[in-house]
Amino acid sequence: MSIFPKKLSAGDEVRVLSPATSLAIISAEVREIALANLAKLNLKVTFSQNVEECDLFSSSSIASRVEDIHAAFLDPQVKAILTTIGGYNSNQLLRYLDYELIASHPKILCGYSDITALATAIYAKTGLVTYSGPHFSTFGMRHGLEYTLEAFKRCLLQEGAYSLAPAQQWSDDPWYRQQEARLFEHNQGYLVIHEGRCEGSLLGGNLCTLNLLQGTEYMPPLADRILLIEDDFESQPQTFDRDLQSLIHQPGFSQVKGMVIGRFQRASNMSHEKLEQILRTKKELDRIPLIVNADFGHTTPQFTFPIGGRARLAAEHGRVEFSILSH
């Protein structure tokens, strides 16, 4: 059974910590803007003790990262945890976490990319719904953050079911280097590969990171899921193909209800033609509704979704409605 953490309210404290890459790599400008954007949501931001510790891998010791996670869950003043940014090594922490402690102090945990391993493991071990959504650093965008902010608020500050309409524009520029020279283009919206209707509990995030959990106690069952998957510029079409195939081979995939795929970064060299060819070679997908080009993952903007929450997907006659039912 899923455990839903309490929603955020005005004046609540949000703790920033670094389960993967250190806050030390984030510029003063991005931090300043992030703090201002979170203040507009009436949220108070604090930082974990070891958030800026930085080693040869731009991360920190396992002990320091675990200490910060436990401290955030134990602190009664902290109502939500935002991760600094992604990286490569949050799965190092999984055997060192006190899942009973976490389950006894349920609260929001939000991040994406490499944080998929941490968020999914916590959900698998405790039933606590976690959230795939913006990092603290994401809030450091000066322009183009409106959709991301509204989706974050709808999921984490408000109650009730809602639909996720596509953003009007999207971007894949290095915004943290050129805040005043953003490059946006028209968003085509959801693209339908297979039509159909389904309802199920949500699971997913960054595909190559999720796959690190295969065969472990940290991988939730796949039955009754709507899978949301995306990957970054390091995932070329051939890599995405085999990573997706690996997920399809997992026990319980035959009971997956539907799939939503996030927008690819340009450097991945994934075209819609290549993606459609990859997806149509996988006969296991023929029976489920499947849409692509959704607003989550490594491009701007992104919606927040609950790992363990429930959703409904309807893709019929070229039209799509994707609704979050419980979050």
Residue 1: pLDDT over 90: no
pLDDT single digits (tens) 211-231: 999 999 999 999 999 999 999
Annotation says 230 is catalytic:
yes
In which band, very low, low, confident or very high, does the pLDDT at 165 lie, cut at 50, 70 and 90?
Answer: very high
Task: Give the CA radius of gyration of the chain.
Answer: 18
Q: Which CATH number among 1.10.357.10, 3.90.950.10, 3.40.1280.10, 3.40.50.10740 corresponds to the domain 13-144?
A: 3.40.50.10740
Q: How far, in Å, CA of 320 to CA of 118, rounded? A: 30
| Tens digits of residue pLDDT in 80-107 | 999 999 999 999 999 999 999 999 999 9
Burial of 250 per CB tally in 10 Å (0-12, 13-18, 19+): middle
pLDDT at 146 over 90: yes
Distance CA 289, CA 182 (A): 34
Active-site entry in 113, 132, 171, 268: 113
How much is the mean pLDDT over the chain? 97
For 13-65, the pLDDT digits (tens) are 999 999 999 999 999 999 999 999 999 999 999 999 999 999 999 999 999 99
- 298 in catalytic set: yes
Sorted by where each begins, the domain ranges of the chain are: 13-144, 162-326
- C-alpha–C-alpha distance, residues 186 and 70, integer Å: 42
Residue with tokens 């992104």: 302
Confidence of residue 259 (pLDDT cuts 50, 70, 90): very high
What is the number of alpha carbons within 13 Å of residue 237 lying toward its C-beta?
Answer: 12
Beta-carbon count within 10 A of 77 CB: 9
Task: Provide the β-strand partners of residue 307.
Answer: 130
The pLDDT > 90 percentage for the chain reads 98
Active-site residue flag, 327 = no
Integer CA distances (angstroms), 236 to 2, 56, 76, 202, in order: 34, 27, 43, 25
Strand order in the sheet with 305-307: 44-47, 13-17, 78-83, 108-111, 130-132, 305-307
Q: Answer yes or no: is pLDDT of 205 > 80.
A: yes
Among 59, 64, 298, 327, which one carries the catalytic annotation?
298
- Model confidence at 318, pLDDT cuts 50, 70, 90, reads confident
What is the pLDDT averaged over residues 149-165?
97
Q: Are 1 and 127 in contact (CB under 8 A)?
A: yes
Residue 239 has pLDDT above 90, yes or no: yes
Q: 296 pLDDT exceeds 90?
A: yes
Task: List pLDDT tens digits, range 240-252.
Answer: 999 999 999 999 9
Q: Do domains 13-144 and 162-326 have the same CATH topology?
A: no
Q: Residues 18, 135, 230, 235: which is the catalytic one? A: 230
The architecture (CATH level 2) of 162-326 comes to 3-Layer(bba) Sandwich (3.50)
User: Percentage of the chain surpassing pLDDT 70?
Assistant: 100
- Taking residues 148-168, what's their average pLDDT? 97
* Calpha distance 267→68 (Å, rounded): 34
Average pLDDT over residues 62-73: 98
pTM greater than 0.85: yes
